[in-house]
């Protein structure tokens, strides 16, 4: 399995690091052991991770502060990716904040917190999958705001997150995008049409809930209970979760993973997925896995 791919035109390791879990419970407040979190970040970079996914609303502020404290000045080639479109309230609630000026303000907040003058990629987080039919600002205005920041040199690439096929197509055609970040896993393949569109246009695809959403019956336990997944895991001497991640990497050469953890041991387990070579028999068996989450 190839170990490198691309984020836009930037070569990156295919397994990056998602910083969301570094915040406290519910992605709110500080972690119990900030030193351990900083140690995980440093170890990730030592092991070749060069793609870190974060957001100012993780905490809020917490993960970006940890990243800056652990890694700044950043090693050459480290790609920092964030997302905008939401804020947190004092109780930890998630509130939409996606008017064009709000998006610009959030990008500026990320720049300050991370201690950089330009962010490699900023994802526009939409609510259309969470709340179909709900009102939110016009996509064209949102993308236009991010394109202005790109023109000003504050963003290198634009991405979209939690979006429909039509939104991805529009974003590709109007501003050009570097990635899509949507839910996708061996247990929930409902986003396959978006993945196919990304493949058609050489757009990177970054799945969240890569083990399936625990809210929808997925997660490590569901993977372990599936005989096809557990059978392939036993054959390779790895965990069912590692098989599920290896399966994702086999779907598309520009699919990038950003598993997150507070544990160095778990980090190393995630990175070892690149050593798993699934053969044709493995992939045929895994194609028989029954989905546990309805497609969108």
Supply the CATH number for residue 142's domain: 3.20.20.100
Query: Is 281 within the bounds of a domain?
Result: no
Q: 217 falls in which pLDDT band (50, 70, 90)?
A: confident
Number of domains making up the chain:
1
Taking only the tens place, the pLDDT of each residue in 96-131 is 999 999 999 999 999 999 999 999 999 999 999 989
Percent of the chain scored above 90 by pLDDT? Answer: 94
Query: Is 232 within the bounds of a domain?
Result: no
Query: Is 101 within the bounds of a domain?
Result: yes
pLDDT value at position 214? Answer: 80
pLDDT value at position 296? Answer: 38
Query: Is 26 within the bounds of a domain?
Result: yes
Query: Is 277 within the bounds of a domain?
Result: no
pLDDT value at position 293? Answer: 53
Query: Is 235 within the bounds of a domain?
Result: no
Query: Is 208 within the bounds of a domain?
Result: yes
Query: Is 233 within the bounds of a domain?
Result: no
Please list the active-site residues. 58
Instruction: Identify the CA nearest to 213 among candidates 128, 294, 124.
Output: 294
Q: Span 32-44, mean pLDDT?
A: 98
pLDDT value at position 48? Answer: 97
The domain of 141 spans: 4-217+252-261
């Amino acid at each position: 399995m190839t170990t490198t791919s691309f984020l836009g035109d930037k070569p990156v390791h295919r397994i990056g690091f998602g910083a969301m879990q570094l915040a406290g419970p519910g992605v709110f407040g500080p972690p119990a052991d900030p030193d351990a979190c900083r140690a995980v970040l440093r170890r990730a970079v030592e092991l070749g991770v060069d793609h870190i996914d974060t957001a100012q609303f993780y905490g809020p502020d917490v993960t970006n502060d940890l990243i800056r404290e652990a890694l700044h000045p950043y090693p050459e080639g480290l790609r920092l990716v964030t997302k905008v479109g939401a804020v947190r309230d004092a109780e930890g609630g998630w509130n939409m904040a996606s008017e064009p000026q709000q998006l610009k303000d959030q990008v500026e907040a990320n720049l300050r917190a991370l201690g950089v003058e330009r962010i490699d990629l900023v994802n526009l987080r939409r609510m259309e999958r969470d709340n179909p039919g709900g009102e939110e600002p016009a996509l064209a205005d949102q993308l236009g705001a991010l394109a202005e920041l790109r023109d000003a040199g504050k963003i290198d690439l634009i991405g979209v997150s939690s979006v429909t096929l039509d939104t991805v197509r529009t974003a590709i055609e109007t501003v050009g995008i570097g990635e899509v970040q949507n839910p996708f896993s061996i247990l929930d393949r409902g986003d396959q049409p978006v993945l196919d569109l990304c493949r058609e246009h050489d757009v990177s695809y970054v799945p969240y809930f890569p083990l399936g959403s625990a809210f929808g019956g997925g997660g490590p336990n569901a993977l372990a209970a599936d005989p096809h997944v557990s059978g392939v895991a036993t054959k390779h001497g790895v965990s069912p979760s590692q098989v599920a991640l290896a399966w994702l990497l086999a779907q598309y050469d520009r699919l990038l993973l950003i598993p997150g953890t507070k544990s160095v041991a778990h980090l190393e387990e995630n990175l070892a997925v690149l050593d798993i070579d699934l053969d044709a028999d493995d992939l045929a068996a895994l194609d028989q896995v029954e989905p546990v989450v309805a497609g969108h």
